[in-house]
């Protein structure tokens, strides 16, 4: 060959080049697809197109996941359903948690489809599906139970689109950015997810006050613009590996994880005379059956010729430790927003003069310091992890988060806001420090042709942990409340003139009713006390019972016990996540060619279990050897 030859090192074959000039993108003289992909990867403008579009997609789906939490009262009022009625509790849970459940179940399969048929194609489909679901939600034509079922179903449609977005956005970024810039890319992208969660809380409070349909419609113009933009500008840079769909693996994984998460969802509902449903035969069967199917999934995948997910990837220490750390981090933080909303809406805001109807909006505003910490430290930790590796920043982030959880556990229920805001900033710092390095460390560690499935598995761990976290946190909170709330509630009601029989009946209601009332920004006394009792009381007594102060003061001491249990549990999970993050080893990059990228230090084996021991300065020699250069 001459000095003008080029080498397609990803194919392992030399391709003679007759001319020195660039080849056209199409036609008989077009450059090979690998050469065009390499050119795109080296184009800094395209990198930022990919980053900005995927960040928009992640931001939109994150906002929509949280905007509903704050808007639930307006949504249920709009469709004329009382979510606190015993028959409507399941509607409330499915609207809150159905989106997370569906995305957790589907992201691995959709990531695998991206590996097989093109990540950009699957990502574009996700933007379009998500937008269609948002439009159908805004146009909900029914009221009552039919309206609730419609909203749940269309949230599932949104979740399908969101699963396509989450599963392929990270792989698209990994394809577009070189290893030494992926931490920055994931820092910006990851922060958009954290910011979106809390922007959604504020936006939900504002839009729900105007019209509940705007909560869903706000995503439509953004989704249309993003869909068109992605279709016109994103290009496929990844390696497409055509293969068969692993139907047995897909079915056992989807059904098993669905059953497990449904069991967890219904476990926090009362069952019979018990405060929670963990002894409900349906819950036991769903959890046990789900776990059995997931074990069967592992057995199937070990024997499948073309599995849904290559389990050998877990032999890469950077991949397995990063996912374990991510799972534990999400387990510790997943229910955090719910606990903070309950704390603010149920106690702190009413005690500081806010009407219950206004607490959803102000809860979102007062939680903004959490976003500030993430916004500042997410991109910074991403940039630094590109140079020094993920381990110090991801591990440090979890330790910082653990400190913030301990601080929150020590705060009085009626706290000084500056202390609360400071701890939220520290908690956001921990999340920002952890997320982008951990994400980059996971995605850097896998072969190019499996990035979609790897991104899907990472998101599955994250979303499954969030559903599990909500179940665990609510269970811990309810257990803490059940110990002291009944006697406190009975004493407070009888002291204000409520007949003993009525007070006893209300005090023995499941604590979850009080938690949901606080989460929704309702005054539960107005709902729990019979109208006949309120009318029989002196006007002053009735006003006290249904006012801003009675219930928050009554629930303060029991709530503080529950919150302390929850935050200490979160701190323990964060410390264990820090340990898992430290176990990932040094910086490790598994690039397209199986050759270590500049600065790569082995932290485990490749997918075949063979360690890459060459240092960065050996890369030119290795590439020459692979391409056949003299």
Residues 6+ apart with CB under 8 A from 618: none
Q: Write the CA distances from 606 to 178, 231, 315, 505, 602, integer angstroms.
A: 19, 34, 8, 62, 9
Q: How many angstroms separate the CA atoms of 351 and 559, rounded? A: 14
* Rounded Cα distance, 512 and 270, in Å: 8
Query: Of the given ranges (85-89, 346-350, 400-404), which has the lowest mean pLDDT?
Result: 85-89
Q: Which of the pair, 239 or 142, is modelled with greater confidence? A: 142
pLDDT of residue 628: 36
In DSSP terms, 611 is beta-bridged to: 605
If you average pLDDT over each of 72-86, 221-235, 463-477, 500-514, which comes out highest? Answer: 221-235
Give pLDDT, residue 131. 94
Give the pLDDT of residue 155: 93
What is the percent of the chain where pLDDT is above 70? 85
Residue 166, pLDDT above cutoff 60 = yes
Q: For 516-539, give the DSSP string.
A: HHHHHT--HHHHHS-HHHHHHS-H
CA distances from 526 to 48, 207, 481, 546 (A): 53, 25, 20, 5
Would you give the DSSP letter of residue 346? Answer: I
**CB within 8 A of 251, min separation 6: which ones?**
none
Which two structure tokens, joined as six digits, stand for 569?
A: 């549990």
Range ranked top by mean pLDDT from 47-61, 127-141, 357-371, 587-601: 127-141
CA angle at 238 for the pair 22 and 245, rounded to the nearest 5°: 140
Q: The tokens of 417 are what?
A: 């806001």
Across 426-443, average pLDDT: 88
Mean pLDDT calculated for residue range 13-20: 36
- Rounded to whole angstroms, how far apart are CA atoms 413 and 217? 36
pTM over 0.75: yes
- pLDDT bin (cut points 50, 70, 90) of residue 515 is confident
* Beta-strand runs (E) in 45-168: none
Q: What was the pLDDT predicted at 39?
A: 52
Residue 464: predicted pLDDT: 82
Question: For 96-137, what is each residue's pLDDT tens digit?
Answer: 888 888 888 888 888 888 888 888 999 999 999 999 999 999
The highest-confidence range among 115-129, 333-347, 477-491, by mean pLDDT, is: 115-129
What would the mean pLDDT of 573-598 be, rounded to a whole number? 74
Residue 545 tokens read as: 């019972």
Which range scores top for mean pLDDT: 224-238, 481-495, 565-579, 597-611? Answer: 565-579
CA–CA distance, 235 with 498 (Å, rounded to integer): 68
Q: Is the pLDDT assigned to residue 610 strictly greater than 50?
A: no
Q: What are phi and psi of 439, to 5 degrees?
A: -65, -45
Residue 551 contacts residue 524 (beta carbons within 8 Å): yes
Low-confidence winner among 93-107, 476-490, 610-624 (lowest mean pLDDT): 610-624
Residue 8 has pLDDT above 60, yes or no: no
Residue 629 has a pLDDT of 36
Residue 89 confidence (pLDDT): 78
Residue 626 has pLDDT above 60, yes or no: no
Give me 621's structure tokens: 């020699």
Res. 302: pLDDT tops 60: yes
CA distance 521 to 317: 45
Give the pLDDT mean for 190-219: 83
Residue-wise over 264-277: b if at least 16 C-beta within 10 A, else e? bbbbbbbbeeebbb
Cα–Cα nearest to 503, from 492, 514, 515, 511: 492
Between 220 and 70, whose confidence is greater? 220
């Amino acid at each position: 060959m001459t000095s003008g030859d080029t080498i397609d090192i990803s194919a392992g074959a030399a391709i003679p080049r007759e001319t020195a000039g660039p080849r056209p993108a199409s036609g008989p003289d077009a450059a090979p697809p690998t050469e065009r992909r390499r050119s795109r990867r080296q184009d800094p403008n395209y990198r930022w197109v990919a980053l900005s579009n995927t960040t928009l997609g992640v931001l939109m789906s994150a906002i929509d996941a949280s905007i509903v939490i704050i808007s639930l009262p307006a949504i249920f009022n709009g469709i004329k359903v009382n979510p606190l009625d015993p028959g409507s509790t399941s509607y409330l849970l499915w609207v809150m948690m159905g989106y997370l459940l569906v995305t957790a179940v589907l992201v691995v399969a959709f990531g695998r489809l991206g590996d097989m048929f093109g990540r950009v194609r699957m990502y574009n489909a996700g933007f379009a599906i998500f937008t269609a679901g948002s439009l159908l939600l805004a146009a909900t034509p029914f009221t009552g139970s039919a309206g609730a079922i419609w909203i749940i179903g269309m949230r599932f449609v949104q979740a399908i689109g969101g699963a396509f977005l989450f599963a392929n956005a990270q792989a698209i970024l990994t394809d577009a950015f070189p290893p030494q810039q992926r931490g920055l890319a994931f820092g910006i992208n990851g922060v958009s997810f954290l910011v979106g969660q809390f922007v959604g809380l504020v936006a939900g409070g504002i839009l729900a006050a105007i019209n509940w349909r705007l909560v869903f419609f706000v995503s439509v113009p953004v989704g249309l613009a993003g869909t068109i933009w992605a279709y016109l500008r994103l290009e496929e840079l990844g390696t497409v590996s055509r293969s068969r769909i692993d139907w047995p693996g897909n079915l056992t994984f989807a059904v098993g994880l669905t059953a497990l998460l449904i069991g967890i969802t219904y476990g926090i509902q009362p069952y019979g005379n018990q405060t929670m449903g963990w002894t409900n035969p349906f819950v036991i069967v769903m959890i046990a059956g789900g776990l059995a199917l997931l074990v069967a999934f592992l057995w199937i995948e070990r024997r499948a010729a073309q599995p849904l997910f290559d389990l050998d990837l877990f032999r890469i220490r950077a991949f397995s430790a990063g996912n374990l750390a991510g799972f534990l981090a999400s387990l510790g933080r997943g229910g955090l927003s719910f606990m903070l909303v309950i704390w603010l809406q149920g106690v702190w805001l009413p005690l500081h003069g806010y009407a219950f109807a206004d607490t959803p909006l102000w809860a979102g505003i007062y939680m903004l310091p959490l976003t500030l910490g993430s916004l500042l430290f997410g991109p910074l930790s991403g940039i630094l992890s590109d140079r020094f590796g993920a381990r110090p920043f991801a591990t440090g982030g979890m330790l910082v988060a653990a400190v913030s959880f301990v601080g929150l556990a020590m705060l009085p229920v009626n706290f000084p806001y500056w202390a609360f805001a400071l701890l939220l900033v520290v908690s956001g710092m921990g999340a920002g420090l952890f997320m982008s390095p951990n994400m980059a460390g996971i995605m850097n560690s896998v072969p190019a042709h499996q990035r979609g499935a790897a991104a899907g598995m990472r998101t599955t761990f994250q979303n499954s942990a969030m559903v599990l976290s909500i179940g665990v946190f609510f269970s811990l909170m309810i257990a803490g409340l059940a110990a002291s709330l009944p006697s406190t509630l009975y004493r407070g009601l009888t002291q204000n003139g409520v007949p003993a029989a009525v007070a006893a009946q209300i005090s023995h209601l499941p604590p979850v009713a009080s938690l949901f009332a606080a989460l929704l920004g309702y005054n539960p006394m107005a709902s729990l006390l019979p109208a006949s009792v309120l009318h029989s009381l002196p006007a002053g007594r009735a006003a006290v019972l249904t006012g801003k102060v009675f219930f928050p003061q009554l629930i303060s001491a029991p709530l503080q016990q529950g919150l302390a249990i929850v935050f200490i549990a979160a701190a323990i999970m964060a410390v264990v996540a820090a340990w898992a993050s430290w176990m990932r080893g040094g910086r490790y990059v598994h690039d397209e060619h199986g050759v270590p990228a500049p600065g790569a230090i082995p932290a485990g084996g490749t997918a075949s279990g063979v360690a890459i021991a060459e240092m960065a300065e050996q890369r030119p020699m290795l590439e020459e050897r692979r391409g056949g250069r003299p």
